[in-house]
Amino acid sequence: MKYPFICPLCHAPLTEQDRSLVCPSRHCFDRARQGYIHLLPVQQKHSLSPGDAKDMLEARRRFLSRGFYRPLAEDVCRAVREFAAADSPLLLDCGCGEGYYTALLEQTCRCSCIGVDVSKEAARMACARSKTIEWVVATASSLPVAGGSVDVVTAIFSLFVNDEYARVLKEGGIVVEVTAGEDHLRELKERIYEEVFPQDKAPPPFGDAFREEALWERRFSFSLPQEALMELLRMTPHSRRMKRDKAASLETLSGLTLTAHYYIRIIRKKRSGSL
Ligand SMILES: C[S@@+](CC[C@H](N)C(=O)[O-])C[C@H]1O[C@@H](n2cnc3c(N)ncnc32)[C@H](O)[C@@H]1O
């Protein structure tokens, strides 16, 4: 097995036998026909189909494939190239969704990649983005990889799980985290909600295991034609929260110019002597 996967039940190392991953206690996990590995036991599932649903993922795939978030993706790749200590890092993209960013990271950062998402549908779709990335269904709160085995964790509009990221990273390894800023998609929210309340969107605090290397704040504008606007809406939770009349009025627009506003935070796991 090329990657240090561990059994989600007993945490012993997994080895690949035929199309299954097996631990010494004979817990066995099959590789799906599409290529992903399902390492989310029922005990770790909090619903029947956890994570993003198929319609959201399909909308996200269509929207991201149009390239409107390419500047954001390039910022993430730059952060990995600039701050990863290893020349050919092992990167784990946590909450990878349908794999847009993971695939670009693999292409541009000389890294080997594991894409983890709790949604089975996400892993299934991600298989079409790259055959060399290991796509895994698992939860961020119990990642099925050995402690101290990963050089980079990326978390792009997903979760920050301090203790688990600290466990899986090597000493000197980094987390590259992307979070939405206060003004992210503001023009869309103003059309959806009666009032948009100002929110503090600074990235969440991190624990003693890490020190901050950099915090980049970025903004850019992008103009969406109607079709892409609807895709963006469907890939966010807004489409489920908004009132019907607001949805109808968005459908009449020929397009909309929007602000992307986000933070990229790079934190490094301290070496044990420097804790
Ligand atoms: C907003 S989406 C971002 C996806 C991707 N990073 C992107 O930006 O296109 C968040 C993703 O996190 C996944 N997710 C939610 N809870 C999770 C968990 N506990 N562990 C792993 N992934 C999770 C969802 O299924 C979803 O694909």
pLDDT in tens, 249-275: 888 888 999 999 999 999 999 998 765
Helical residues (DSSP H) of 127-177, grouped into ranges: 162-168
225: three-class secondary structure by DSSP: strand
C-alpha of residue 119 to centroid of ligand 1, in Å: 8
> Does the pLDDT at position 122 exceed 90?
yes
Note the pLDDT of residue 26. 96
* Confidence label for 240 from pLDDT (cuts 50, 70 and 90): confident
Q: Is 76 in the pocket of ligand 1 (CB under 6 A)?
A: no
Q: What are phi and psi of 225, to 5 degrees?
A: -70, 165
- Ligand 1 in contact with 92 (CB < 6 A)? no
Distance in Å, CA 201 to ligand 1 centroid? 18
114 φ, ψ (degrees, to nearest 5) = -120, 125
Q: How would residue 79 be classed by pLDDT, with cut points 50, 70 and 90?
A: very high
- Write the pLDDT tens digit of every residue in 158-177: 999 999 999 999 999 999 99
Task: Give the pLDDT confidence score for residue 29 in this predicted structure.
Answer: 96
Nearest CA to ligand 1 atom 13: 95
Question: How many angstroms separate the alpha carbon of residue 252 from the centre of ligand 1?
Answer: 30
State the distance between the two ends of the chain, measured CA to CA, in whole angstroms: 33
How far apart are the CA of 98 and the centre of ligand 1, in A? 9
Residues 6+ apart with CB under 8 A from 171: 148, 269, 270, 271, 272
Neighbours of 32 (CB within 10 A): 15
Cβ of 109 closer than 6 Å to ligand 1, yes or no, is no
Distance 114 CA to ligand 1 centre (A): 14
With a 6 A CB cut-off, is 139 part of the ligand 1 pocket?
Answer: yes
Give the CATH superfamily of 15-274. Answer: Vaccinia Virus protein VP39 (3.40.50.150)
- The pLDDT value recorded for residue 130 is 97
Specify the pLDDT at position 241: 79
Percent of the chain surpassing pLDDT 90? 80
| CB 97 less than 6 A from any atom of ligand 1 | yes
pLDDT band at 221 (very low <50, low <70, confident <90, very high): very high
Residue 219 has pLDDT above 80, yes or no: yes
Distances (CA, A) of 10 to 18, 32, 142, 180: 21, 22, 12, 36
- H or E stretch including 103? helix 100-108
Are the CB atoms for 76 and 154 separated by under 8 Å?
Answer: yes
Strand partners, 174: 152, 268
Q: Residue 184: left if φ>0, alpha if ψ -120 to 50, beta else—which one?
A: beta
Pocket test residue of 52, 129, 133, 165 for ligand 1, highest count of atoms within 8 A of CB: 52
Cα-to-centroid distance, 274 and ligand 1 (Å): 32
Q: For the chain, what are the domain ranges?
A: 15-274
pLDDT at 272: 86
Q: Residue 159's pLDDT is what?
A: 93
236 confidence band (pLDDT: 50, 70, 90):
confident
pTM of whole model > 0.85? yes
